[in-house]
Structure 1
């Protein structure tokens, strides 16, 4: 229950957030708890991203994962790009079928298939995976992938935690995506065919260290199961974004999975707001409680310049950010009627540390990309 509470105001301001801004002003949101807590909306004479230079740990960064070419057969050989005590992000290129099973004993594993096709086998059975699929693998699940076309996979570990579906409140349980669209492994003919007496290794990750367990048979040998825990698969094409033609909704509305200390959000193609007074691009904001990571999967991200599929932006907590100048101008002119981007966002409650592998593929001009170029 929410009591009626009237917000405070001073000076020249709009009646509502993200709509009908005073002429010539730029709105900046300063909020708590992502976009769900108390907030203040300032109206500035200049864009909050109109800096001359940027130096220090709050500097925004862009990483080009496409430039990371290493192909490895195990997910635990894939480069860790960023991490904290509750989240670990890896970039994995898999060109050939995995020779051993993998098991994560540190937390649930989320795979997002950026490219490629494969067959995933696990304790629960078999399912096909392809571009655009999320796959949630419960902690302790044994699994392997047979490659049909080389795979590029974004891996997001919920360290010492589990993935859940977000609460949808008044939208109802079938909004954004109906759980009925979730795929799951099946104990089908392909699963039974891969069973046998072949010596098989399982590479277990626990507390970041690897243990190899060797069996004289393939331990994916279950003949049946029952219960309410299973891996699930969701393709971004089955997500139906919430939208409003009169109000630019915050990114948290598009939450796909959540854990104790971070959320995973999916940006999918949608109509752009059509009301003349509504913002048409993301609002400038200080997200001072979260680090924000966006993996750009497909299309042209409508609030960014110089970003191509396979790149990642990293906006540390404390960094005021928003649309690039050309994107802001295009939004003001309502030049586009719909977005065509697909992107995966991680909002982490705890600061993320970038690794040497991430800095090796950094585009160092990212902070300067907000500068307005003079004719």
Structure 2
């Protein structure tokens, strides 16, 4: 069955059922649900949130979730950190990492989570964490949900099969998947090990950005977002459910699969998006637009127009502007930028930034093209040119991003990253006073 189309962020109601007639009609919690199911509401917003912001879904399941979270035991997840986290002094400077290999004994998607930076305060529901995941095996009878935030998953290599309470989402490099706060899931590896990035968003759920003068079309189109068709596991055997809550991790031993939702309806559900369907907007004559034109999703903050987290991409696209320096200009930015490269070569960093790598440019720390990129772009033929071999992304936040001690101790940390600008030489031709 094809996935349900999901118009994300506009309060639309959608429904799906794995068995005919499993979805009650005309009433959310009847005295007796079809097939002997239990009705359960999953709320992703306050009950009194405005209609356009209210997120909730009704789930019709074999057993209610109160049977899943019982007798929790503390477990160790030493490399997954939660803000506020200042376990190492934050360096004043730009940082970049090479790609990390997936070890032969790498664990599951959850076990392989490695926090690189954190921002804000999970308890205040503000900020984010950026993680690297290194997964070597599938989750079989293990399940997980994150009560601290929603998870935006960006595979870099290796396909993922994400089984959720709402159904199955398959996610490959070049696609993203978002699992909302509180949704249970497990991850299988389709074709061997997988590596990628995760943004754990503590704040308001991701939604489409306000297009402003761009108008009704362009950027990410709502019709290209998909959530799953209802599917359920009727599995009666010992299983394990891990929960992240308040920055701590717990395990509950249960006697059945928690992915037992037979039908659902609502507007709070997992979804996926193919980044190759993003429609870039850019300059047609001269000058370099702000990178906000590449925003796919945003987590709004209380400050109008300023994102708690923005998810932006730098996809294949045509560049046609005349008399214009085409790579990103040199800048100091009020926003903090965590970047990753999914494939290809990023135009502002032709050397040293490889697929699977990462960089961190914090608020008000200068950055921009390296010396090689500057020289090439300054002398380039400015006819129409297409970037068709690269896909980079950015988790951008209004908050400072603090690297973890794990990130600062990685062997892949480039100790000489700042040297990429040392070749920027003086070109000034004016006369002094």
- TM bucket by the smaller chain? 0.7 to 0.9
Name which of 211, 226, 229 aligns with 1:183: 226
Moved more, 107-116 or 171-180: 171-180
Name which of 344, 347, 356 aligns with 1:299: 344
Is 1:342 the counterpart of 2:391? The answer is yes
Is 1:91 the counterpart of 2:138? The answer is no
Moved more, 103-112 or 258-267: 258-267
Q: Which residue of 1 aligns with 2:359?
A: 313
Q: TM-score, normalised by structure 2?
A: 0.69
Query: Per-residue deviation at 1:372?
Result: 1.1
Name which of 110, 123, 132 aligns with 1:75: 110
Q: Which residue of 1 aligns with 2:314?
A: 267
RMSD between aligned residues:
2.0
Q: Which residue of 2 aligns with 1:352?
A: 401
Query: Per-residue deviation at 1:234?
Result: 0.9
Query: Per-residue deviation at 1:240?
Result: 1.6
Please say if residues 298 and 343 of structure 1, whose CA atoms lie closer than 8 Å, have aligned partners that are also in contact: yes
Q: Distance in 2 between matches of 1:296 and 1:317?
A: 20
Q: Distance in 1 between matches of 2:187 and 2:168?
A: 10
Query: Per-residue deviation at 1:103?
Result: 0.2
Alignment of 1:143-222 (within 5 A): 143-149=185-191, 150-187=193-230, 191-192=231-232, 194-222=233-261
Q: Which residue of 2 aligns with 1:252?
A: 292
Aligned partner of residue 98 in structure 1, secondary structure: coil
Aligned length: 313
Q: Distance in 2 between matches of 1:229 and 1:140?
A: 10
Q: Distance in 1 between matches of 2:329 and 2:109?
A: 40
Please say if residues 117 and 130 of structure 2, whose CA atoms lie closer than 8 Å, have aligned partners that are also in contact: yes
Name which of 250, 254, 278 aligns with 2:324: 278
Q: Which residue of 2 aligns with 1:323?
A: 369
Please say if residues 165 and 258 of structure 1, whose CA atoms lie closer than 8 Å, have aligned partners that are also in contact: yes
Query: Per-residue deviation at 1:228?
Result: 1.3
Aligned partner of residue 330 in structure 1, secondary structure: helix
Q: Distance in 2 between matches of 1:127 and 1:294?
A: 25
- Structure 1, unmatched stretches of 5+, are 1-55
Q: TM-score, normalised by structure 1?
A: 0.79
Q: Distance in 2 between matches of 1:335 and 1:329?
A: 12
Q: Which residue of 1 aligns with 2:173?
A: 131
Aligned partner of residue 234 in structure 1, secondary structure: strand
Please say if residues 273 and 279 of structure 1, whose CA atoms lie closer than 8 Å, have aligned partners that are also in contact: no
